Amino acid sequence: MGNTSSMLTQYDIEEVQQHCNNAFSQQEIVSLYERFCQLDRNGGGFVSGEEFLSVPEFAVNPLSQRLLRMLDGLNFKEFVAFLSAFSPRATVQQKIEFIFKVYDSDGNGKVTFNDMLDVLHDLTGQFISEQQREVDLILEMPLFTDCKQVLTKVLEEAGYNKESLLIMSDFVKILGSSGLKMEVEVPVD
Amino acid sequence: MSSGKGGELIPSSSELDLDRPNIEDYLPSGSSIHEPVGKLRLCNLLDISPTLTEAAGAIVDDSFTRCFKSNPPEPWNWNVYLFPLWWCGVVIRYLILFPVRVIVLTVGWIIFLSCFIPVHLLLKGHDKLQKNMERALVELICSFFVASWTGVINYHGPRPSMRPKQVFVANHTSMIDFIILEQMSSFAVIMQKHPGWVGLLQSTILESVGCIWFNRSEAKDRETVTKKLREHSQGVDNNPLLIFPEGTCVNNQYSVMFKKGAFELGCTICPIAIKYNKIFVDAFWNSRKQSFTMHLLQLMTSWAVVCDVWYLEPQNLRPDETPIEFAERVRDIISVRAGLKKVPWDGYLKYSRPSSKHRERKQQSFAESVLRRLEEK
């Protein structure tokens, strides 16, 4: 399959389907191709960061920059593979793997405290920082909360600490039982 | 017992977009995420699936891009019998209709210019007469334009009467909206200043009917334009203002948010709904894909431009309404009449990024929920 926005052949569709482990039906892949060509306005064969950001719903998403790093320069086959985690046919394991990849920005298979802190910052913006949380009973002075403290407290309660390096199986343990819902419907004409 | 002011958050430091309607009032409130309860655990912090789902949903399909998708008529010529028929149609359209239309348009321009130039130059002293003649001439050239596309326009509703403190608003699909409306009654429209021959027409002929120009890309422009709008609407002898509050061309199946500028002038608003019949031609001017000249040529090589125009009941600002609510109410009236689906986006997002206010709102609500659950034992 070339890099130009040409018509999809049956062979192309099957190749893409195989690459994404049958996460999408053939009709859905055709729809996704139309969408890909719609987003790829300059016809370069991949959708650039600017082109993704021209979708306002995407641009206002707090994790858009993180996702752009994963999306930039993908061709259509890789684009479908990226989205396969959101298919209703994807397993919980695949969804957790995707979430892990979002956290693991350097791709070394380990999520550090700082990785988690970065994502927390993306999600909360400037709205948790130096917030007065409680008044210390003894000192009668205000106690402040920021992202680091929130994350540390919650990690420790779960049996980890600031130096822990989480790997994929840790994520499965933490997220596996929480009924993960991460699905997107591909509109088919 | 101490109870901290936990949950008090730093207000957003982004500047308030006073001139744009508040998207917050229109987006589905909160989010599709149900309100989480219970003590904050690690799985809650690490589970970013709701946010990721929203992002993926936007990548796969979004209501904003849908507004600007051209919808060409379905090809119907794919068999042995229909293909020759279609081919005959092409020949007729390009080799017979098109030259005839070009001739009609040229004749129209000749008549127009040979009357307009003398009137413009010679009747300088007689303002009222000059204005009336120029108005009639502009209506004439618009009729010629409409004839050059074989325009079949059905006007419904009482024709607007010329009264002061009255402003007309309509949904926007292409610059031909103005021509179609101008053919029936003289309006002073407010438009984006275009380059090329369109700009030339704008600065010469259209000025005579009192049109106002703005430039989207200039920030200060907005105040000057608002001032001009106000002045024009107060004037007794001016042509009534025609405003397209969407601010950009939309594909006639959706309507984007109305800008509140037209609704703050203290005038009666007369809504006009325009719906094109897609069977004949897709009248949406996709300015990202084609120039206005190409768009006109496309219209002139189609069978016809068929549309319905409804003049709707004039509306006034209600005592308990803000201008933004008023704009939304009128948008509702127009969308229902013309069969358009409403989307909560500002048309100008075609040219710029959404303000950080919207992301900050999401961040704020997530932060609040985290802090609240942190308190729970």
B50-83 as b/e: b if 16+ CB within 10 A: bbbbbbbbbbbbbbbbebbeeeeeeeeeeeeeee
pLDDT of residue B34: 53
Average pLDDT over residues B125-142: 84
What is this model's ipTM? 0.89
Bridge-based pairing of strands A131-135 and B241-243 is: unpaired
B27 in contact with A at a CB cutoff of 8 Å? no
Architecture of domain A11-90: Orthogonal Bundle (1.10)
Cα B196 to chain centroid, rounded: 22
Same fold, A11-90 and A91-179: yes
For chain A, the domains span 11-90, 91-179
Q: Which residues in chain A have their CB less than 8 angstroms from residue B56's CB?
A: 83, 86, 182, 184
For residue B217, pLDDT over 90 is answered with: no
H helices, E strands: number in chain B: 12, 9
The DSSP annotation for chain A comes to --SS--PPPHHHHHHHHHHTTT-S-HHHHHHHHHHHHHH-TT-SSS--HHHHHTSHHHHTSTTHHHHHHHHTT--HHHHHHHHGGGSTTS-HHHHHHHHHHHH-TT-SS-B-HHHHHHHHHHHHTTSSSSEEEEE-TTT--EEEE-HHHHHHHHHHHTT--TT--B-HHHHHHHHTTS------PPP--
For residue B266, pLDDT over 50 is answered with: yes
For residue B311, pLDDT over 90 is answered with: yes
Chain A: nearest CA to B199, how far in angstroms?
A: 27
Per-residue pLDDT tens over the stretch B45-59? 888 999 999 999 999
Please report where in the chains the tokens 């994790």 appear, as a residue.
A63
Per-residue pLDDT tens over the stretch A23-62? 999 999 999 999 998 888 888 888 899 899 989 999 999 9
The whole-angstrom separation of Cα B229 and Cα A181 is 51
Q: Which residues in chain A have their CB less than 8 angstroms from residue B47's CB?
A: 99, 175, 178, 180
Number of Cβ pairs closer than 8 Å across A and B?
179
For residue B117, pLDDT over 50 is answered with: yes
CA angle (B121, B175, B262) in 5-degree steps: 90
Task: Give the residue from B251, B212, B276, B261 showing the smallest Cα distance to B350.
Answer: B251
pLDDT, greater one: B72 or B48:
B48
Which homologous superfamily does the CATH classification assign to the domain defined by A91-179?
Answer: EF-hand (1.10.238.10)
Contact A86 B65 (CB under 8 A): no
Work out the end-to-end distance of chain A between its first and last CA atoms, rounded to an integer number of angstroms: 24
Contact B47 A59 (CB under 8 A): no
Selected residues 95-114 of chain A with any CB under 8 Å from a CB in chain B: 95, 98-99, 102-103
Share of chain B above pLDDT 90, in %: 27
pLDDT of residue B40: 80
Interface test with A, best of B20, B45, B69, B360 (most A CBs within 10 A): B45
For residue B22, pLDDT over 70 is answered with: no
With CA atoms as reference, the chain A residue closest to B351 would be: A54
Chain A: nearest CA to B309, how far in angstroms?
A: 30
Task: Give the residue from B301, B351, B367, B365 showing the smallest Cα distance to B32.
Answer: B365
For residue B14, pLDDT over 70 is answered with: no
